[in-house]
Amino acid sequence: MNGGSITLKALQQHLLGTQTAFVSYRLPGETTPESIISTKGFYEIPHIREVFNGKSGFIISPFLKSLPPLFLDAEFTLSGTQFTDPGIGRQEASPVPECRITAPGKEEYIEKLRQVISGINSGRADKAVISRPIEIPFREAGLSIPLFEQLCIDYPSAFVYLAWIPGYGLWTGASPELLLRIENETVTTMALAGTRDAGSRAWTSKEMDEHEWVCRHIEEKLAASGCNDVSRSETGTITAGMAVHLKTGFKAIIEDDNKGKLLEALHPTPAVCGWPEIAALDMIRNTEKYDRSFYTGFLGPVKSEKQAAFYVNLRCMQIFQDKAFVYAGGGITAASDPLAEWEETVLKSQTMLTAIGKIQNLAYF
């Protein structure tokens, strides 16, 4: 492909399944997608805090801090849906990895939750976020390209992305949750926890407690990372697909040297892990029995230590050759009802399943 103009969809199709990595993303509230491409692919960086290494690009970090984040240098940066062909020749093939995930059924998942609640009642943790993979038919990986476009249409307030990561796989999603935004010396983050459907029922004490745990976590990490002038907004709500969440915003001032430290400290929040963190991680490991990989990690563009945005990788899916897995979970506490928690994961999965249904004209639930 050389010379002339090319559409974003044609370029994505050209690069998918090759050694050339790309990420296309659309920031919340924006209408124009951005794309970052590198013929060298993603590479590991030792620690989250080293994301500010003087290079512009894109980071995607797994849920587990014991695993290294991946960084994509901005070899090519493109804006919009049609642009001058960057002239990237066909690269060596890099197939979508084989699927090694098994999705639990309803009764199995509910039984897992009962065991977690029993552990919480015995004092092992206050909260653990337990997730499940949901297997769906997906005719071919190339359908991720119109799916990205559909997600941009359906969820204008979300961070929407499509990431081809040679050796790791193909991911897409529409996340409602900001982990950290950096604009010069100002940092912004949010607590997003507590979930109900879009009906009119009141928030329960369980949901309010979940949200307050996340707020306390953020306040502690902002203080410990050397932030000044910390402000906290009133708690409101945000709609994400068919779900409504409690939301509280935070803003602070921070020196450049502490920005990487703050990013590392904020991840993972109690909204995707639990509380206390080490005890919750132990319960997750013993309960879920699958590798979350990049689900409930974070990702986002890095332009410099003065400008970057990172989002929690929620409402996302991993795509294989003939199937895909949508990921969803919920915060489990002593007050949890296992059946209601199952239904919450069904509700959260609709963000992706509704968009998939539109491009495949199929129903999965």
> pLDDT of 133-169, one tens digit each?
999 999 889 999 999 999 999 999 999 999 999 999 9
Give tens-digit pLDDT for 98-111.
888 999 999 999 99
Higher pLDDT, 65 or 201: 65
Whether the pLDDT of residue 129 is over 90: the answer is yes
The predicted model scores a pTM of 0.96
In whole angstroms, what is the distance from residue 195 CA to residue 244 CA?
Answer: 6
Position 267 in a domain: yes
Strand, coil or helix: 80: coil
Q: How high is the mean pLDDT of the chain?
A: 94
In a domain, 32, yes or no: no
Domain assignment present for residue 65? The answer is: no
Residue 78 lies in a domain: no
Tell me the C-alpha distance between 55 and 172, whole Å: 24
Q: What is the pLDDT of residue 365?
A: 34
In a domain, 190, yes or no: yes
- 351 domain residue, yes or no: yes
Looking at the domain assignment, is residue 120 inside a domain? Answer: yes
Task: Give the closest residue to 231 by CA, choosing from 250, 210, 211.
Answer: 250
Domain limits for position 292: 106-360
Q: Write out pLDDT tens, residues 165-223.
A: 999 999 999 999 999 999 999 999 999 999 998 876 899 999 999 999 999 999 999 99
- Pick from 182, 359, 336, 161: which is nearest to 254 by CA? 182
Number of domains in the chain: 1
Q: Which position has the higher pLDDT, 242 or 103?
A: 103
pLDDT-based confidence at 363, cuts 50/70/90? Answer: very low
| pLDDT reported for residue 2 | 58
Find the CATH number of the domain harbouring 186.
3.60.120.10
- Per-residue pLDDT tens over the stretch 76-106: 999 999 999 998 877 788 888 888 899 999 9
Q: Which of 359, 344, 309 is nearest to 23 (CA)?
A: 309
Answer yes or no: is 27 within a domain: no
